[in-house]
Structure 1
Amino acid sequence: MAVRYAVVAGILAGLLGMYSTMATAQTPAVPATTPADSAPVDAEIRRQMAEGHLVGVAAAVILDGEVVWRGGYGLADRDSGRPFTTDTVMNIASISKSVVGAAMMRAQEEGLLSLDADVSGYLPFAVRNPHYPDQPITLRQLATHTSSISDRWSLYATSYHFGRDAPQPLGEFLKGYLAVGGADYAPDNFLSAAPGAERDYSNIGAGLAGYIVERVTGEPLARYAQRRLFEPLGMHSTRWHLTPAGATPDATLYIAQDEMAIAIQPYTVTTWPDGGVRTSVEDLSKFFIALLNRGQGNENRVLQQNSVDEMLRLQFTPTHKPGNVDIAEKNSGLFWQTKYNTRYVGHGGSDPGMKTEMLATPDLRTGVVFFTNTSGEGTEKAYDGILKALFAHAEVLRRAQAQ
Structure 2
Amino acid sequence: MRHVMGVGIALYAIAAPASLAAQAPPVTRPAAAAAPTLASLDSLITHSMDEAGIMGFSAAVIVDKRVVWMKGYGFMDWQRTRPFTPNTTAKVASVAKPFVGVSMMRAVKEGKLSLDADINRYLPFRVVNPHRPDVPITLRHLATHTSGITDRWEIYRATYTFDGDSREPLLSFLTAYFTPGGKYYAKENFLEAKPGELRDYSNIGAALAGLIVERAYGQPLNVYTRQHIFTPLKMTHTGWFMRDVDRTNHSTPFVSQSGFTVPIPIYGGTTYPDGALRTSVSDLSRFFIAMLNNGTYEGTRILDSASAAEMRRFQLTDANRPTNFPAADGNTGLFWRTKFNGLRVGHGGNDPGVEVEMLSDVAGNVGVIYISNTSLSGTDRRATGAIFDALWKYGEHIRATGSPSSR
TM-score by length of 1: 0.91
CA shift in 2, pair 1:226/1:70, >3 Å: same
Q: CA deviation at 1:109?
A: 1.3
CA shift in 2, pair 1:55/1:245, >3 Å: closer
CA shift in 2, pair 1:228/1:396, >3 Å: same
Contact 1:60-1:368 at 8 Å conserved across structures: yes
Aligned to 1:65: 65
Contact 1:54-1:379 at 8 Å conserved across structures: no
Q: CA deviation at 1:269?
A: 1.1
Amino acid at match of 2:391: L
Aligned to 2:289: 289
Q: CA deviation at 1:86?
A: 0.5
Aligned pairs for 1:37-52 within 5 A: 38-52=38-52
Contact 2:239-2:245 at 8 Å conserved across structures: no
Aligned to 2:17: none
Aligned to 1:399: 400
Q: CA deviation at 1:259?
A: 2.7
Aligned pairs for 1:231-242 within 5 A: 231-242=231-242
**What SS class does the counterpart of residue 12 from structure 1 fall into?**
coil
Amino acid at match of 2:400: R
Q: CA deviation at 1:256?
A: 0.7
Aligned pairs for 1:238-387 within 5 A: 238-243=238-243, 247-377=247-377, 378-387=379-388
Map Cα deviations across residues 137-157 of structure 1 (whole Å, 9 max, x no partner): 000000000000000011101
CA shift in 2, pair 1:148/1:255, >3 Å: same
Contact 2:88-2:250 at 8 Å conserved across structures: yes
**What SS class does the counterpart of residue 360 from structure 1 fall into?**
strand
Amino acid at match of 1:13: I
**What SS class does the counterpart of residue 50 from structure 1 fall into?**
helix
Aligned to 1:222: 222
Q: CA deviation at 1:15?
A: 10
- Partners of 1:212 and 1:57 lie apart in 2 by 34
- Structure 2 unaligned segments of length 5 or more: list them: 13-35
Contact 1:143-1:206 at 8 Å conserved across structures: yes
Aligned to 2:193: 193
Contact 1:228-1:302 at 8 Å conserved across structures: yes
**What SS class does the counterpart of residue 308 from structure 2 fall into?**
helix
Q: CA deviation at 1:246?
A: 6.2
Q: CA deviation at 1:183?
A: 1.2
**What SS class does the counterpart of residue 62 from structure 2 fall into?**
strand
- Partners of 2:248 and 2:288 lie apart in 1 by 24
Q: CA deviation at 1:180?
A: 1.8
Q: CA deviation at 1:13?
A: 3.4
Contact 1:86-1:280 at 8 Å conserved across structures: yes
Match of 1:13 among 9, 12, 30: 9
Q: CA deviation at 1:328?
A: 1.9
Aligned to 1:174: 174
Aligned to 2:97: 97
Map Cα deviations across residues 188-247 of structure 1 (whole Å, 9 max, x no partner): 000011011000000000000000000010011011111111111111111001255864
Contact 1:96-1:276 at 8 Å conserved across structures: yes
Contact 1:148-1:190 at 8 Å conserved across structures: yes
Does 2:206 match 1:206?
yes
- Structure 1 unaligned segments of length 5 or more: list them: 17-35
Of 282-291 and 248-257, the range deviating more from structure 2: 248-257
CA shift in 2, pair 1:339/1:245, >3 Å: closer
**What SS class does the counterpart of residue 368 from structure 1 fall into?**
strand
- Partners of 1:38 and 1:115 lie apart in 2 by 45
CA shift in 2, pair 1:171/1:42, >3 Å: same
TM-score by length of 2: 0.90
Aligned to 2:138: 138
Q: CA deviation at 1:330?
A: 2.4
Give aligned pairs, total: 380
CA RMSD in angstroms comes to: 1.8
Contact 1:243-1:250 at 8 Å conserved across structures: no
Map Cα deviations across residues 14-46 of structure 1 (whole Å, 9 max, x no partner): 798xxxxxxxxxxxxxxxxxxx95111111111
**What SS class does the counterpart of residue 77 from structure 1 fall into?**
coil
Amino acid at match of 1:133: P
Contact 1:234-1:298 at 8 Å conserved across structures: no
CA shift in 2, pair 1:57/1:191, >3 Å: same
Contact 2:316-2:332 at 8 Å conserved across structures: yes
- Larger RCO of the pair (alpha carbons < 8 Å, separation 6+): 2
Amino acid at match of 2:330: K
- Partners of 1:325 and 1:229 lie apart in 2 by 32
Map Cα deviations across residues 274-313 of structure 1 (whole Å, 9 max, x no partner): 0011000000000000000001113211111100000000
CA shift in 2, pair 1:65/1:244, >3 Å: closer
Aligned to 2:3: 4
